[in-house]
Amino acid sequence: MRRLIESTNFPLEVVNKASYSEKQGGGRPPPWEMIFWWTRKPLSSARAIISASILPEDVNLNEFLNRLKLNERSPHRHNPELKDWGEMFRNKKLLDPFAGFGNIPLEALRLGMRVHASELLPVAYVLLKAILKYPRKYGNTLARDLEKWGKHVIEKLRRDPEIRELYDEEVSVYIGSWEVKCLNCGRWTPLIGNYWLARTKDSSGRYKRLAYMYPVIKENKVEIGIKDLNEELKVPGGEIHRVIRRVDPKRGLIEVEGKGVFEVPRPNVEARRNNATCLLCGSNLRFVDQHGNHYPEKKGRKNLEWYVKWALKKYNEGDERFARQRLLVKVKVVNGDLVFEPCCDEDQEKLERAKEYVKELIEKSGSDVPTEPVAYYQLQPPANFPT
């Protein structure tokens, strides 16, 4: 008999919906927050496909969805309940020779299967240990130890005089960007690809938080303003969805009942199109030659480079005349809610002091970052290899 995965009975739409939901910000599995990893497979789809590869095509689909929790809002948050199906999985083995972040082997373990996972990349190998091996081996002891030593490290950092000097204890996150010197007016302009600060929904898909930043031109400098609609509209109970008529994220439009339309600024940098705009004078920053001479178009000229890329390259070479780092917004957590504030000159000074400290540490004790050259992989197949 064929397996469910080979049959048109496989509930593809349900699995796709669960997988899409899982990949969104509010539905991500907790292990995903450890590190960003390439091509992470949704746990929901991994569970469904592994199970459908073992179960027969005539399996009851309602039972399939119920037992695998695919009919739940977040299937990955629930362990499957196989019941009498357990024997069909218990003696099966799964091999994932390029396991990456380990999502496929993890779901196989949750289904009660024997799993073999391997990975060539050292970082991924360590992550596999953290996700597949150590939690099963040490259980709650591991969680308690991590909490204990995590608190220990945090307290040590809080008491460190250099850390106290450089970081505001109330700030959870700093949002920043690169600034480049405009080739036309000679002033510094931030490059901001996304002005949104918060655009989150509740479990029913209704907007619960909307906030964005916008540029404020003061003399020869670009400062930042904050538009927090939850704070500005002051909707009772914080239910902002009651007054939101429409949100168009692509066009940056927020239509509010009785208040008109709020417009989120458009990005002033488009890397794919090699274009940036000065927020002070409106000039387009396009291409430069090796000497920094500006050209609005390439028009067949060779050896031209997008100005932003050229400026950042210069910065990384130690020449900070054309690009620099800029803090824009600081995010605090107050009573479980996010509070956004524009960064000030003092915040920027702390960033510069931190960079100087790092330089001193490297000069004093050397860097732990490897600098040895890495040999190129041989891309050509052997002469006698059939192609």
> For the purposes of burial, counting CB atoms within 10 Å of the CB of 104, is it exposed (0-12), middle (13-18) or buried (19 or more)?
buried
328 residue type, one letter: L
- Residue pLDDT, tens place only, 134-179: 999 999 999 999 999 999 999 999 899 988 888 888 899 999 999 9
**Two tokens at 243?**
């007054």
- d(CA 284, CA 270) in angstroms, rounded, equals 11
Question: What pLDDT does residue 374 have?
Answer: 66
Question: What pLDDT does residue 383 have?
Answer: 54
Q: Which of 338, 327, 336, 333 is nearest to 228 (CA)?
A: 338
Question: What pLDDT does residue 24 have?
Answer: 72
Mean pLDDT, range 33-47, rounded to an integer:
85
**Read out DSSP for 45-92?**
HHHHHHHHTTSBTTS-HHHHHHHTTTTSSSGGGS----GGGHHHHHT-
Give the pLDDT band (50/70/90) at residue 66: very high
Does the pLDDT of residue 385 top 50, yes or no? no
Instruction: Please name the residue that has the structure tokens 């990005």.
Output: 267
Highest mean pLDDT among 204-208, 294-298, 365-369: 294-298
Enumerate the domain spans of the chain. Answer: 4-123, 162-193+268-366, 195-266
- Phi and psi, residue 103, nearest 5°: -65, -40
pTM over 0.85: no
Rounded to the nearest 10 degrees, the angle between the axes of helix 43-52 and helix 103-110 is: 60
**Read out DSSP for 279-301?**
TTT--EE-EE-TT--EES--TT-
Question: What pLDDT does residue 387 have?
Answer: 46
SS3 196: strand
- d(CA 346, CA 352) in angstroms, rounded, equals 10
The answer to whether 86 and 54 have CB atoms below 8 angstroms apart is: no
**Two tokens at 86?**
């357990």
Mean pLDDT, range 272-301, rounded to an integer:
92
> For the purposes of burial, counting CB atoms within 10 Å of the CB of 64, is it exposed (0-12), middle (13-18) or buried (19 or more)?
buried
The answer to whether 203 and 194 have CB atoms below 8 angstroms apart is: no
